[in-house]
Amino acid sequence: MTAPADLAALKTHEISGRVQVMEGQGGLPKIVLSSALSTAEIYLQGAHLTHFQQRNERPLLFLSRASRFANGKAIRGGVPIIFPWFGDRADCGAHGFARLREWTLARTQSLSDGAVRAVFVLDAAADEAPFHAEYCVRVGDELEIELSVTNTATDRELAFETCLHSYFSVSDIAAVEIAGLQGVHFLDKTADFALRQQHESALCIEAETDRVYLDTEGAVEILDRAWARRIVVAKSQSRSTVVWNPWMEKSARIADMAADEYRQMVCVEVGNVGRNGVTLAAGATATLGARLSVASL
């Protein structure tokens, strides 16, 4: 793995009162974005968004207190970028390499509406299928994230899966319902990828849950009764939605997650995975986006 970027060089992207570059946990470079209404933190490793919080509100994202912050190690929580594959791949690890590599901070901007934006880029290594990825984080009264992937080859297609693997902070998983997926077919990864359909109007999580919902473009809502808040996950150019909670037994086996933390989180992820994966012609670009907002319930 490459050494973390030099902080002094990164400070050229700072904007007074809006963008700050600092050393984060484990000595990893971290970018702090501050708008008039909210703040966010992004690590260059994985362009990993680890924190978003509106003023006078609870944090939106869950981050494990046991997460490792080390060069080349995945961060547990926030919004990992999953690319170019989703799930496990023999001899290649889980969820691709984008979340493990250091991205480049390309530009920052303070916007006229009070929001602030940062753009991160990642290019293929010499032995990989050629691509160029850009990840834009816009912090205002809502959180907007968008990943664009371009096939930079001139003579071949590029096939991949991608997902913005959002971990959301909740009061207690027992007080949460997930709405917006009624009638949608899903692959149940806890039952050997059996294809099933959700009939309930809202999903209540009462055991290990790992579902890949297919062919769905609608927004999803996380209804948190105890905190009286609604998290809205609005999708852009996404045909898959993933819902995950490891529950008690699996959580206890995850080294970088405290055993009881499954109660304080749920993943609702926007993506294009499985049969919704992307194939790009030479020179073409595909984008995947999410707009995350919070309202009173």
Tell me the one-letter amino acid at 136. C
Give CA–CA dist 143/162, Å, rounded: 19
Q: Are 126 and 264 in contact (CB under 8 A)?
A: no
* Residue 200 a catalytic site member: no
Q: Comparing C-alpha atoms, which of 119, 210, 212 is closest to residue 161?
A: 212
pLDDT, mean over the chain: 96
Over range 233-253, report the average pLDDT: 97
* Residue 165 a catalytic site member: yes
* pLDDT range class, residue 210, cuts 50, 70, 90: very high
Q: Comparing C-alpha atoms, which of 39, 170, 168 is closest to residue 116?
A: 39
Give CA–CA dist 102/99, Å, rounded: 8
Give CA–CA dist 109/204, Å, rounded: 40
Q: Are 186 and 213 in contact (CB under 8 A)?
A: yes
Catalytic residue among 95, 142, 165, 221: 165
CA distances from residue 223 to 7, 226, 293 in whole angstroms, order as listed: 40, 9, 12
Over range 65-84, report the average pLDDT: 96
Q: Give the per-residue pLDDT at 1.
A: 53
Chain-centre distance of CA 192, in angstroms?
Answer: 25
Cα dihedral angle (277, 282, 284, 286), rounded to 10 degrees?
20
Write out pLDDT tens, residues 81-118: 999 999 887 677 789 999 999 999 999 999 999 999 99
CATH class of the domain whose range is 7-296: mainly beta
Q: Bridge partners of 270?
A: 164, 241
Q: Comparing C-alpha atoms, which of 252, 55, 59 is closest to residue 171?
A: 59
Q: Give the per-residue pLDDT at 88.
A: 83
Give CA–CA dist 287/3, Å, rounded: 29
Q: Give the per-residue pLDDT at 94.
A: 87
Tell me the one-letter amino acid at 116. V
Q: Are 85 and 93 in contact (CB under 8 A)?
A: no
57: number of Cβ within 10 Å: 13
Domain coordinates of the chain in residue numbers?
Answer: 7-296
Give CA–CA dist 6/295, Å, rounded: 39
